[in-house]
Amino acid sequence: MSELVLHPKTFLKSNALWPSGLLNVQARGNPATFGPNATAQVIPLMLRPKPGVQCLNKTGVPMPCWEIAPAGLGGYLGYYLPWQPNSTKTMVIGDKADFFITDTMNGCTFAAGIGGTVRVAHVNYNTFNADGDREEGLPIDQGHMDSEVQRVMGAATPGVALRKAGYTIANGDFPNVTVVGVRRAGLWTFAYQKRAMTAPARLGTAMVPGYRLVSVHNVH
């Protein structure tokens, strides 16, 4: 964890990283932590090997696969922001920890303020179906997500954001993105790892999902 926090972009260029699904399950039991007036609570986290996937670097050579998962006593304290379909999850992170992660993105929008105590948001909305309802599996509604970002972040608030248009892959491969934040010298900065989903790969006797590193960037 210390290597990831001290040098996030360097770590993400040589290690594939996901948030564990257990974080989202755990967060469902504490919905009051995430909302317009919520100040995030820190939770103990650990870095552990991610099972059941094959990860390749940009040249196609296997690379380590890791996940950030809940930890017991002695874990590295950090902030976690969940995702839910057709919703806006937001909270304020400050000086209680120096690491942040949000759920994997493949169409969502992430936004954050600038400074030492900042609001972060993970926004997902799909277009309306024929019945006027929103549901998973339909194309994203970027206009609605932009409106939500403006609503929760404030129209005049300077900040950074990552939209799907900023992490699509040129050849049309399906994107898979991890966003992390670190607090240095009292200020939060955010970076993301962009991966492409590849054909299933053989790992031992099993066929598993495959991912290839595309690039690593700061969130601007």
Residue-wise pLDDT tens for the chain (220 aa)?
999 999 999 999 999 999 999 999 998 877 667 776 667 889 999 999 999 999 999 999 999 999 999 998 889 999 999 999 999 999 999 999 999 999 999 999 999 999 999 999 999 998 766 555 555 556 899 999 999 999 999 876 679 999 999 999 998 899 999 999 999 999 999 999 999 999 888 878 889 999 999 999 999 9
Shortest CA distance to 44 belongs to which of 15, 24, 18, 70? 70
In our burial notation (b when 16+ CB lie closer than 10 A, e otherwise), range 157-185 reads eebbbbbbebbebeeeeebbbbbbbbbee
Q: Is residue 128 within 8 Å of residue 134, measured between CB atoms?
A: yes
